[in-house]
Chain A
Amino acid sequence: MAQLTMREALNQALKEEMTRDPNVFILGEEVGAYQGAYKITQGLLAQFGEWRVRDTPIAEEAMMMTFNFSLLALDMIVNHAAKYRYMSGGQIRCPMVMRGPSGAATQVAAQHSQGFESWYAHIPGLVVVMPSTPKDAKGLLKSAIRDDNPVIFMENEILYNLKGEVPEEEFHIPLGLGDIKRAGKDVTLVAWSRSVITSLAAAKTLADEGVEAEVVDPRTLRPLDEDIIFESVRKTGRCVVVEEGWRYAGFGSEIADRVQRECFDSLDAPVLRVTAADVPMPYAKTLEKAYLPQPERIVEAAHQVLYRS
């Protein structure tokens, strides 16, 4: 196993898949000569040439740099990519990956710090992936590229430098397969992307108190590996969903809905959610911290479902 950052892992995935399949190409802002605004596409232009690694103008109705700017391309994603197969009665497929950083970065304020996973997960026809580790990022991106459905692949800028074990041999991780990031028996924390890291921190605090939290990472929000969540909740009887998105109509409510429906008799407490504050992201550091889910808030929620105070 190699120790790689998520940035390196993503770069490897792109390189490997482009080598494997000459039909794979990249369009994007600063993906070529600039080597990627976040260096994910480093070295690809030189290797594959401009027709396969294409710098685009800032023409964001069709392409974009981060998911913060994806709103301009919503028409392309929601009205076109997600629907052409259906509207054409199955004649068309749209093997596309929209990848880029999503969620809160550091002090870039409201327009550049948003989690839109709930928006995309809401759309039938899309696949939505949110990796939390370098290994997951590589394995899932490879699947996303090979898959023939439109995939929204949401990375997290804060995690780009996160290091982790990545197998050196060829591998991929199927989309829609969840993962237990930490086993435990007392309370289930469901989280994806950066929230996994936050939840693991919370789990550590809880462990010091003798509470073993299980951190379940669905990795893909659509399709959702609900079984891995249900299994955990049936074991622990308690569920806290952690997300960086807003609470109101956020993806966590989808999970809460499914858990209450499928694990009703296993629940010892209502499903709780730890989310971003229901406001646009502020700039100031203190406010930013208050906005985002912090380990302490997860611990607090765990206490609540454990009826500890």
Chain B
Amino acid sequence: MREPAPHNHPHGNALTLPQAKRYKPLSDTRTESGTMDRNQALALYRQMLLIRRFEERCAQLYVEGKIGGFLHLYIGQEAVGVGAISQTRADDYLIAYYRDHGYALARGADPRLLLAELCGKFTGISRGKGGSMHFYDIPAGNFGGDGIVGGHLPLAAGIGYGIRMRGTDQVCLCFFGDGAVNEGAFHETLNVSALWDLPVVYIIENNRYGMGTSIDRASSVKDLYQRASAYGVPRREVNGMDIVAVRSALGEAIDRARKEKRPTLIEAETYRYRGHSMSDPGKYRTKEEVESMMKSDPILLFGRRLMEQERFTQADLDAIDKDVLAQMEDAVTFTEQSPDPPVESLYEDVYVRSPYIHMKAAEKDPAWRAAIREDRVPASLPPWKPAAPPPAAPAAQPAEATASAGKAK
């Protein structure tokens, strides 16, 4: 056991005590992609809350032994994923690291499929083969969570390269943690992204700790976004606890990518309340630090703002919470009723069946025998129907808003 690292990060205080210049009222939130209206705001609130409740339920199921392996919870960081993804178009792409539950949910994945994946069920979004770190949802343009720190950054550049080759105006979001910026792949990727003008927005979710090592002990430059200056990549920092600020920063970056085909590096300052994973006791930081960060909780702040500026009541928010919890219980039921993967599926999905393979020889290998020509798509389930529409949001159903913000096929 050792003392927590001293807080000498220049923006540490800003996060602990949000400052006015970073704290913009909702009414000021204008981006080129349009004004966020009242119902959309409520939908974002619901998304963040869904992620929060999802993660809490995961923690519970993990302790119960229903979820195995690594489990990295997104609690505390919801504003980054939800805010960023809310600015994307249905045909845009996203690729992320292993703390990936939030992105999939924000991109519209069904929590039932995700929870089933976590519990290793055949109905899981990756057929029980990926688990917590690998929520792929290709129809939604979600290239999933990657288990290798920084390992997906070159892939993001590859996605950007593909967009350029095809000549479309899509963009790709790439999320990673503060630990990844010290990987070689980060630098190779930023370099070629700038060199070839790739439409990728790179988002550092700086939660201050690469597992147990604070950035002060890991990075020579404390302003991580400044690393982009070495490659001439446009860059900025943003308060990741503030969904409005995140939306604003992303709106600008995505616009640049779409129109100018240029990458951006965004550093979102955020915090995870839980350990790096479920097995992390978090001894490297003080209880006080965690508690002080929780005061600027993104959901708390945004909810307060909804009440102060958009005339929602606590009861409205409570109703959303109730609905989200009900949706989670439904997901748990779905998961419990789902079958385990049949052993025959062990060999499936290793190879693509191909006319260019001498199958007579290849099929001696069970992985080739089990290969199919097509790609699989995750199961599609009837959408969640809230028990009662949220009273204060007459214009749009939150569930529909969620869908419109994310998945579209």
Flag if A146 contacts B356 (CB, 8 Å).
Answer: yes
| Partner of B357 from A57, A90, A147 at Cβ < 8 Å | A147
Flag if A87 contacts B130 (CB, 8 Å).
Answer: yes
| Partner of A223 from B127, B158, B164, B368 at Cβ < 8 Å | B368
Flag if B361 contacts A224 (CB, 8 Å).
Answer: yes
Flag if A174 contacts B136 (CB, 8 Å).
Answer: no
- Beyond the given pairs A62-B189, A148-B352, 9 more chain A to chain B contacts, judged by CB atoms under 8 angstroms and listed by A's residue number, are A25-B165, A57-B191, A57-B192, A89-B125, A89-B349, A144-B356, A147-B354, A220-B358, A227-B360
Q: What chain B residues lie within 8 Å of A227 (beta carbons)?
A: 360-361
User: What is the CB-to-nearest-CB distance from A232 to chain B, in angstroms, rounded to a whole number?
Assistant: 14
Proximity string of chain B (354-370) to chain A, C-beta cutoff 8 Å, 1 when within and 0 when not? 10111111101101100
Q: Which single residue of chain B is at the shortest CB-CB distance from A174?
A: B358
Q: Given A90-B127, A91-B126, are A176 and B352 also a contact pair (CB < 8 Å)?
A: no
Contact stretch, chosen from B144-152, B217-225, B257-265, B299-307: B144-152
Contact stretch, chosen from A35-43, A72-80, A109-117, A297-305: A72-80
B-contacting residues, A139-184, CB 8 Å: 143-144, 146-149, 172, 174-178
Q: What chain B residues lie within 8 Å of A25 (beta carbons)?
A: 165
Q: What chain A residues lie within 8 Å of B365 (beta carbons)?
A: 223
Proximity string of chain B (95-134) to chain A, C-beta cutoff 8 Å, 1 when within and 0 when not? 0000000000000000000000000000011111110001
User: What is the CB-to-nearest-CB distance from B1 to chain A, in angstroms, rounded to a whole number?
Assistant: 33
Flag if A86 contacts B350 (CB, 8 Å).
Answer: yes
B-contacting residues, A78-114, CB 8 Å: 79-80, 84-93
Asked if A284 is at the interface of the complex by the 8 Å CB criterion, the answer is: no
Q: What chain A residues lie within 8 Å of B377 (beta carbons)?
A: 91
Cα–Cα distance between A88 and B350 once the two chains are bound (Å): 10
User: What is the CB-to-nearest-CB distance from A97 to chain B, in angstroms, rounded to a whole number?
Assistant: 11
Q: What chain A residues lie within 8 Å of B322 (beta carbons)?
A: none
Asked if A134 is at the interface of the complex by the 8 Å CB criterion, the answer is: no
Asked if A124 is at the interface of the complex by the 8 Å CB criterion, the answer is: yes
Flag if A59 contacts B352 (CB, 8 Å).
Answer: no
Q: What chain A residues lie within 8 Å of B144 (beta carbons)?
A: 87-88
Q: Given A51-B164, A91-B138, are A59 and B191 also a contact pair (CB < 8 Å)?
A: yes
Q: What chain B residues lie within 8 Å of A92 (beta carbons)?
A: 136, 138, 143, 375
Q: How many A-B residue pairs have CB under 8 A?
A: 147
Interface residues, chain B, with chain A CB atoms under 8 Å away: 124-130, 134, 136-138, 143-144, 146-148, 151-152, 154-155, 157-158, 161, 164-165, 184-185, 188-189, 191-192, 195-196, 348-352, 354, 356-362, 364-365, 367-368, 372, 375-378
Q: What chain B residues lie within 8 Å of A268 (beta carbons)?
A: none
Q: What chain B residues lie within 8 Å of A84 (beta carbons)?
A: 136
Asked if A61 is at the interface of the complex by the 8 Å CB criterion, the answer is: yes
Q: Given A54-B196, A61-B184, A91-B136, are A226 and B364 also a contact pair (CB < 8 Å)?
A: yes
Q: Which single residue of chain A is at the shortest CB-CB distance from B127?
A: A89
Q: What chain B residues lie within 8 Å of A85 (beta carbons)?
A: 349-352
Flag if A86 contacts B129 (CB, 8 Å).
Answer: yes
User: What is the CB-to-nearest-CB distance from A160 to chain B, in angstroms, rounded to a whole number?
Assistant: 24
User: What is the CB-to-nearest-CB distance from B108 to chain A, in angstroms, rounded to a whole number?
Assistant: 15
Flag if A147 contacts B356 (CB, 8 Å).
Answer: yes
Cα–Cα distance between A144 and B358 once the two chains are bound (Å): 12
Q: What are 12 A-B interface contacts by the 8 Å CB criterion?
A: A25-B165, A57-B191, A61-B184, A62-B154, A62-B158, A87-B134, A91-B136, A92-B138, A143-B356, A146-B354, A174-B356, A175-B362
Flag if A75 contacts B148 (CB, 8 Å).
Answer: yes
Asked if A205 is at the interface of the complex by the 8 Å CB criterion, the answer is: no
Flag if B361 contacts A225 (CB, 8 Å).
Answer: yes
User: What is the CB-to-nearest-CB distance from B291 to chain A, in angstroms, rounded to a whole number?
Assistant: 37
Asked if A52 is at the interface of the complex by the 8 Å CB criterion, the answer is: yes
Q: Which single residue of chain A is at the shortest CB-CB distance from B188?
A: A59
Asked if A56 is at the interface of the complex by the 8 Å CB criterion, the answer is: yes
User: What is the CB-to-nearest-CB distance from B174 to chain A, in angstroms, rounded to a whole number?
Assistant: 14
Cα–Cα distance between A127 and B352 once the two chains are bound (Å): 11
Q: What chain A residues lie within 8 Å of B147 (beta carbons)?
A: 79
Flag if A51 contacts B125 (CB, 8 Å).
Answer: no
Q: Given A51-B164, A227-B361, are A57 and B188 also a contact pair (CB < 8 Å)?
A: yes
Cα–Cα distance between A144 and B155 once the two chains are bound (Å): 21
Q: What chain A residues lie within 8 Å of B155 (beta carbons)?
A: 80
Asked if A250 is at the interface of the complex by the 8 Å CB criterion, the answer is: no
User: What is the CB-to-nearest-CB distance from B148 to chain A, in angstroms, rounded to a whole number?
Assistant: 5
In the complex, which of the residues B151, B152, B362 has the most CB atoms of chain A within 10 Å of its own CB atom?
A: B362
Asked if A125 is at the interface of the complex by the 8 Å CB criterion, the answer is: yes
Q: What chain B residues lie within 8 Å of A127 (beta carbons)?
A: 351, 357
Q: What chain B residues lie within 8 Å of A80 (beta carbons)?
A: 146, 148, 151-152, 155
Flag if A124 contacts B350 (CB, 8 Å).
Answer: yes
Q: What chain B residues lie within 8 Å of A175 (beta carbons)?
A: 356-358, 362
Q: Which 5 A-B pairs have the closest CB atoms?
A: A89-B127, A90-B376, A223-B362, A59-B188, A88-B136
Q: Given A59-B188, A86-B129, A174-B356, are A76 and B154 also a contact pair (CB < 8 Å)?
A: yes
Q: Which single residue of chain B is at the shortest CB-CB distance from A76?
A: B154
Flag if B357 contacts A176 (CB, 8 Å).
Answer: yes
Q: Given A87-B126, A226-B364, are A93 and B356 also a contact pair (CB < 8 Å)?
A: no
Cα–Cα distance between A114 and B189 once the two chains are bound (Å): 27
Cα–Cα distance between A79 and B150 once the two chains are bound (Å): 12
Cα–Cα distance between A27 and B160 once the two chains are bound (Å): 14
Q: Given A57-B188, A80-B151, A143-B356, are A87 and B129 also a contact pair (CB < 8 Å)?
A: yes
| Partner of A174 from B357, B367, B368 at Cβ < 8 Å | B357
